[in-house]
A and B are shown apart, each in its own frame.
Chain A
Amino acid sequence: MIKVEWFYWLCGLLFLFGAVLTLRDRSNSKRYGSAAFWGLLGASFGYSTFVVNKTAPAWVLGLVVIAMTVLVGTGQLGRGTEVSTSLAEKAAAAQRFGNKLFVPPLVIPLGALIFAVGLAKIKAGDQPLLEKGSETLIGLGVSAVAAAMVGVIMLRPPSVLTPLKEGHRLLEVIGWAAVLPQMLATLGRLFTDAGVGTAVGKVTTHVLPEGSLFGSVVVYCLGMALFTVIMGNAFAAFPIMTAAIGYPVLVQTFDGNPATVFAIGMLAGFCGTLTTPMAANFNLVPAALLDMKSRYGAIKAQLPTALPLLVCNIFLMYFLAFGVL
């Protein structure tokens, strides 16, 4: 059975390789701190396997994670200034290879397609070929490796390690934002454990207008969006807002169609995701990846869509879920 853990180890190895590169990169004025950061990150990816299996203590990993934050907070993470090829060399290579250059990156979606449509249902012996629940991730991992191989065969880079070096260069552009999504997931857990969710749920039920269907729909949808802004994740908001308003008020008292109420409620939460830096993997990582001047560039682009779409969700729920039309 192909396991998703293999690909986490692959990520870990990429980080560790990056740490070695960084250590030898004299163009990076903070190479020791930076190498420590990537090295700790790489080691964490492997160690995490044992934490998930409960064969190693989690607090050790907790200390490592906090150490990475300290490295970033004290300004010890930097990036090298060496460039791989000049703009002129890139233009010449583009001239030479032309549209063939699109082949390796297109292997990724093609692979994803093959995995989603074909391989997800195949069995090896009495077990499924791909680990259950991780089919998409495995498809992405396998396709990425295949794409890199196709790239090396087609383009004949100076060394087979070139893709790894170039990959690390992109990783340096992302920098600390690479760890942020996982750190936010951790914050979400701590919020839940400490009872932030129930506290917010209590606050929203206080503002609930008694007996008004439209008012209740507004509070549920706005609550989903706001809660998602705070937690960075509509999945964390859904159980709490649904327990506070969605089920008892909208479904039980006003007799709403549960499928409609919950589907649109979740999408109201997604409108919140578009507007929050807490959803780092969607909003802050791409800003880093595209080297934007403003960290919040993606959010600024999305805000004028998120607000009207939230209003749409409120009206759609009101008109579609309660037989108003």
Chain B
Amino acid sequence: MLVLIGVLLVVVGFALRLNPLVVVTVAGIATGLLGGLSPGKILNEFGNGFAGSRSVTLFIVVLPVIGLVERFGLQEQSRRLIGKLTFLTTGRLLASYQVIRQVTAAVGLMSIGGHAQTVRPLIYPMAEGAAERRYGRKLPEAVQERIKGHSAGVDNVGVFFGEDVFIAVGSILLITGFVDSTYGLKLDALHVALWAIPTAVCALLIHGGRMLYFDRQLDRLMAVDGPPPALKKKEADR
């Protein structure tokens, strides 16, 4: 039970907003020592853990092309394009992206989107551009921050609750692999994937609904922030 102190260290460290990298490293070392591992073994674990998990960092190979195109004004072009698609409000855009992300993930196309590939260069500037068009002015930082949060969140929700409908995805294979080898069951991956559909539908309704409602929240946030400049001008004319 003493090893749970490691978990506590992480919780406290994150709550105090210390640097997460430092918190995680210290918690790892502490947990290893409390669990009776030798310092040599702990160092080995750091090495093996790092080497074995490089796949989560592979997304950085897309940064050169994204950086290049941003240099030539990709984010600005995303805003210009959204300026023409007037039926797409911020909320509708985010909800549509969720649908696309969820459906493509459900047929196994997980790397079609992602925070580096689509959210930063396309979805976020479009979501912000749609709001700027609607209110006719720059957005205050707090509102930008909300739009950033939702742009990142919609990608996660879409891919998490889409991918499990695809039979060859890691989590399905983990379920069947673990259960079959541990309990001698013969689970069909297709059945597991099918039973992920009800939750996928719930995720679509809950999060999609929230995205559509986000338009109204934006209206309210922007009203508090003051009327659009067009209105202010009219008042000044009077």
Contact = CB atoms under 8 A, between A and B. Distances in A.
B130 interface: no
B175 A113 contact: no
A105 B43 contact: no
8 A-B pairs with the lowest CB-CB distances in the bound complex, closest first? A194-B35, A166-B67, A186-B49, A58-B47, A94-B73, A61-B47, A167-B64, A62-B46
B6 A194 contact: yes
B75 A90 contact: yes
Kindly name the residue among A87, A305, A313 whose own CB sees the greatest number of chain B CB atoms within 10 A: A305
B73 A61 contact: no
Given A105-B122, A312-B199, A281 B56 contact: yes
A52 B122 CA distance: 36
Contacts of A51: 47-48, 51
B195 A260 contact: yes
B70 interface: yes
Contacts of A136: 110-111
Contacts, number: 439
Given A186-B48, A258-B185, 6 more contacts: A62-B44, A72-B22, A84-B67, A163-B65, A166-B66, A187-B28
A122 interface: no
Interface string B4-18: 101100100010010
Interface residues of A, number: 145
B61 A186 contact: no
B179 A242 contact: yes
Nearest to A49: B51
Contact of A196 (B4, B49, B141): B4
A163 B64 contact: yes
A48 B56 CA distance: 14
A255 to B, nearest CB: 14
B212 interface: no
Contacts of A297: 145, 148-149, 152
Given A62-B42, A90-B76, A278-B10, A180 B70 contact: no
A183 interface: yes
B37 interface: yes
A52 B61 contact: no
B58 A263 contact: no
Interface stretch (B131-139, B186-194, B220-228, B230-238): B186-194
